[in-house]
Amino acid sequence: MKLSKTLFSKLLFVFMGIAIAIILNFAYSYYYRLSDNVDITLYEDTLRDLAEKCLTSGDVPVSSLLIYNDSIIGKGYNDVSKNNNPSGHAEINAVKNCFERIGYKNFKKLNRNKLTLISTYEPCTMCRGLIEEYNIKKVIFSFPKNYKDKLIIFKKNYTYYQKLKQSTNKRLQYNLFKQYKSFDSINYPF
């Protein structure tokens, strides 16, 4: 009897966590879709031209622009099929194009409050990782993912963390980090 109560409480806790996460995800999605209704008419022709390049290779027609002070500093479109590139999403290609144009170091110096990523479709989990990693604070998309896709993404995120395991040997990466000039061994002691 005691074992079943423990199992029940664990399952209830997991279920409540999932339910709260789903509710927060939908609430957040709904909020940011309505809160910043931004006009991107100035960039529509460029976005359309870029997205149409996807159609010839059979890629999903999505395009993206990286804007700084109202100037385009990066352009991208999906080229996953065309280049056999699993990371060939429009948003990633726009940031990559920006790096090619101005360089990584100059990109890092940009004022993030003046930097905007515009995409024709709501960014996926991989592209959101890039957006977070490079601190792109403003993201505008024209077409949202549907709720079914958001549930699938949520399930994938949950499944990812179930599969994630840490090795017992941290020394390999630590020794590599120690060779890197910006590594801070005080904040990352072994």
Q: Please name the residue that has the structure tokens 């109202």.
A: 70
Give the integer Cα–Cα distance in Å for 6 and 14: 12
Is 115 within 8 Å of 137 (Cβ atoms)? yes
What's the Cα-to-Cα distance from 127 to each of 2, 16, 117, rounded to whole Å? 45, 28, 11
Q: How many residues does this entry show for the chain? A: 190
* Catalytic position from the list 91, 100, 122, 132: 91
**Contact (CB, 8 A) for 115 and 123:** no
91 tagged catalytic: yes
CB of 122 closer than 8 Å to CB of 141: yes
Catalytic amino acids? Answer: 91
